[in-house]
A and B are shown apart, each in its own frame.
Chain A
Amino acid sequence: MLNQLFNTSFLIRAAALIVILLYVIFSLIVLNQVRVMNKIITQSSASFLVFLTAAIHSILAVSLFVFALAIL
Chain B
Amino acid sequence: MPDIFVEPKKTKQHEHITQPQKDTSLSRRLGQQSAHLFATYCENPPGVFFETEDPDEKILLLVKRHFITNVPWIITALILALIPLALNIVFTITNAPFTLPERFITVFLLFYYLAIFGYAFINFITWFYNMTIVTQKRIVDIDFSDIVYHDVAQTKLTLVEDVNYTQSGFIRTFFNYGDVFVQTAGGKENIEALAIPKPAIMAQLVADFIGKGAHSG
* Chain A residues near B (Cβ < 8 Å): 9, 12, 16, 19-20, 23, 26-27, 29-30, 33-34, 36-37, 39-46, 49-50, 53-54, 57, 60-61, 64, 67-68, 71-72
Contacts and interface: CB of A to CB of B under 8 A. Distances in A.
A60 B114 contact: yes
A60 B45 CA distance: 33
Label chain A's interface by main secondary structure: helix
B110 A53 contact: no
Nearest to A20: B111
Contacts of A16: 104, 107-108, 111
Contacts of A40: 50-51, 129, 142, 150, 152
A33 B146 CA distance: 11
A36 B133 CA distance: 18
Contacts of A30: 118, 121-122, 125, 147
Given A37-B125, A64-B107, A44 B46 contact: yes
Nearest to B133: A41
Nearest to B150: A37
A36 B152 CA distance: 13
B118 A67 contact: no
Interface stretch (B10-18, B29-37, B170-178, B185-193): B29-37
Q: Which interface residue of A23, A39, A54, A68 has the most chain B CB atoms within 10 A?
A: A68
Given A29-B147, A33-B148, A42 B49 contact: yes
A46 B118 contact: no
Contact of B106 (A36, A46, A71): A71
B144 interface: yes
Contact of B103 (A27, A37, A61, A72): A72
A17 to B, nearest CB: 9
B160 interface: no
Contacts of B103: 71-72
A23 B155 CA distance: 38
